[in-house]
Amino acid sequence: MTAHISLRIGVPLWLQPELRENMLSMVEEFSETVTEVACFTGFTHPPLPLATIERFAGVLAEALPQFREAGVTARKMQGD
């Protein structure tokens, strides 16, 4: 039986390019087990400022396709 893991990734891990590259490498290495990643957009439950949301949206527009190319389902999640 094969286990499937869904990673919940906090903001620092997908926001910073060098940390995102590390995550992508790990996802590719364990592609048979890691089948999904969810990139959280919040540090806490209160709403984020619009400028922060716009910044995150730009980074996620680049990051989510990278995770999909690594072979996993990738989506953005609100809140932590």
- Tally of structural domains, the chain: 1
Domain that holds residue 51: 5-77
Determine the Cα angle at 48 with ends 71 and 39, to 5°: 10
Tell me the residue length of the chain. Answer: 80
Cβ-based neighbours of 37, under 8 Å, separated by 6 or more: 6, 7, 8, 9, 23, 27, 67, 72, 73, 74, 75
Q: Can you say whether the dihedral through the CA atoms of 78, 5, 12, 19 is positive or negative?
A: negative
Q: pLDDT for 23-70, tens place per residue?
A: 999 999 988 889 898 888 887 778 889 999 999 999 999 999 999 998
Report the predicted TM-score, pTM, of the whole model to 2 decimal places. 0.78
**Residue 13, both tokens:** 């891990």
